[in-house]
Structure 1
Amino acid sequence: MTKQSSTDEQGDSQSGSARSWWLKGLALCGFLAAIGVGYYFFADQLSLKAIAEKESALQEYRQAHPVLVYVLAFGLYAMVTGLSLPGAVPLSLAYGWFFDLVPAIILVSFASTTGATIAFLVSRYLLRDIVKSKFGERLSTFEESLESEGPFYLFTLRLIPAVPFFVLNIVMGLTPIRVVTFWWVSQLGMLAGTIVYVYAGHTVPSITELAEQGASGILSRQLIIAFIVLGTFPLVVKYAMKRWKGTDARN
């Protein structure tokens, strides 16, 4: 290989690297701009009070465009979770009230997982350096726990929100976990919470009542029990798995 050809290859490599950084920079700017625009236009519209003010209009639109409403609702929820905007819980409650129970659970379950996976991918391919500088210490803890516990660690964090979901999504993007694994574990792990929140919204006669009374207006004995089960279930499963592993090791 001649000196000239070696120099040309180095130049091509540097040029390709520069183009890659430019593309990542543009994509990052676009993502941040989307967050800003989404927050500016939708932050005030995602509260229960804002939704309650449009209650009649929303019901009329649903009757006129039944399929389109599901598509728009899915896109809105995925956008909110994907851009880490506040509003997932109010939307879960509102969807439970607005749609039939089972379709609402399916809608919120898949939309929330889609949004979480979008945030996961953005963190992995666009925000790696930023997230690493921000959550470096926590990242090492996540990686160690994933290595020792496997996907069950993510499953536990989905069931017990000890870490905010938006933080969990972006930090997991920097771990070696596969995208498919992140998807199905998140889908299963968030399902119980989705059912509880959607059911809570489904028990409310109207969004106006929910906005006026707050959480106290929907808390019943059944819901309180459901939240208790939701919090203790992963601990019981984890304990059972430890006992099973201990028994298996002795055998």
Structure 2
Amino acid sequence: MSSTTVNDPRRGFVQKARRLAPIAVILAAIFGAFALGLDDYLSFEALRDNREILMAFTADNVIAAVAIFIGIYAVSTALSLPGGAVLSIAGGFLFGSFLGTLWVVLGATIGAVGIFLAARTALGDILKAKAGPWLMKMEAGFQENALSYLLVLRLVPLFPFVVVNLVPAFLGVSLRTFTLATFIGIIPGSFVFASIGAGLGSVFDRGDSFSPTGILTPEVIVALLGLSVLSLVPVVYKRIKTSRKAS
């Protein structure tokens, strides 16, 4: 093979284009979703106005309804569309607290894995090359306790869901660890929202207004914080053990 073939700029451009294609597709889809106003359908008003149709379809076509719901949730998560709370509550509204939680967690995990893989494929190497050695140090520290750190980030919504999907991709977290932490970490919060959704019918019957802002009560926040502290126990234990060996 000649050197001109190896150093062919056109070949490099094609490789870059292929690497960036997943992110380009996602960005185009996000723009298209907002341009078409699809985010308007992720609202309590839409859920209330189409309540009878949705309940009837779910009752008559359970498998199809589950597949469609998981698909919508996965796409919404992958495109980082607003309305995750509404969809989680809708899961409980349509399927009940426990099954609703399961379908929400599956949909969110599939969507999160999709954006994680797209970011790792498209931007991981580029950002590492530009960030320098500090990112490698951060990557090593994060990878050592990746599961515990990710569980904390999933349990307590300190950062937007999309950020927690992207950052691990740049820090070299394995797909298995990311998937496991996402699936387990979002169960408690998803159950809270789905449980609220299971009782949403009575709210609609009374004609009351509803807002997701009132769901995260102090009691719920304290419970999630407690779970996040427990997930950090392995990290603390490992550091104490290491410090004792060093002394």
Note if 1:20 corresponds to 2:15. yes
Report if aligned partners of 1:113, 1:186 keep a CA contact under 8 Å in 2.
yes
Structure 2: 5+ residue stretches without partners: none
Q: CA deviation at 1:113?
A: 0.8
Which amino acid is the alignment partner of residue 27 of structure 2?
A: L
Find the partner of 1:213 among 207, 210, 213. Answer: 210
> 1-side partners of 2:143 and 2:174: how far apart?
13
Q: Which range moves more in the overlay, 16-25 or 73-82?
A: 16-25
- TM norm structure 1: 0.81
| SS, match of residue 82 in structure 2 | coil
Note if 1:104 corresponds to 2:82. no
Which amino acid is the alignment partner of residue 231 of structure 1?
A: L
Q: CA deviation at 1:195?
A: 1.4
Find the partner of 2:172 among 173, 176, 182. Answer: 176
Report if aligned partners of 1:139, 1:171 keep a CA contact under 8 Å in 2.
no
Task: Identify the residue that residue 225 of structure 1 maps to in structure 2.
Answer: 219
| SS, match of residue 98 in structure 1 | helix
Sort the Cα spacing of 1:126 and 1:94 in 2 relative to 1 into closer, same or farther, 3 A.
same
Task: Map 1:96-175 to 2 at 5 A.
Answer: 96-128=92-124, 143=139, 145-175=141-171
Structure 1 consecutive aligned stretches of length 4 or more whose deviation exceeds 6 Å: 129-133, 138-141, 216-219
- TM norm structure 2: 0.82
> 2-side partners of 1:245 and 1:129: how far apart?
30
Sort the Cα spacing of 1:218 and 1:117 in 2 relative to 1 into closer, same or farther, 3 A.
closer
> 2-side partners of 1:165 and 1:142: how far apart?
20
Q: CA deviation at 1:84?
A: 0.8
Note if 1:185 corresponds to 2:172. no
Please list the CA deviations of residues 152-189 of structure 1 after superposition, one character each: whole Å capped at 9, or x if unmatched: 11111111221111011112111111111110111111
Sort the Cα spacing of 1:244 and 1:210 in 2 relative to 1 into closer, same or farther, 3 A.
farther
Sort the Cα spacing of 1:230 and 1:211 in 2 relative to 1 into closer, same or farther, 3 A.
farther
Q: CA RMSD in A?
A: 3.4
Q: CA deviation at 1:244?
A: 6.9
Report if aligned partners of 2:143, 2:171 keep a CA contact under 8 Å in 1.
no
Q: What is the identity percentage for the equivalent residue pairs of Structure 1 and Structure 2? A: 25
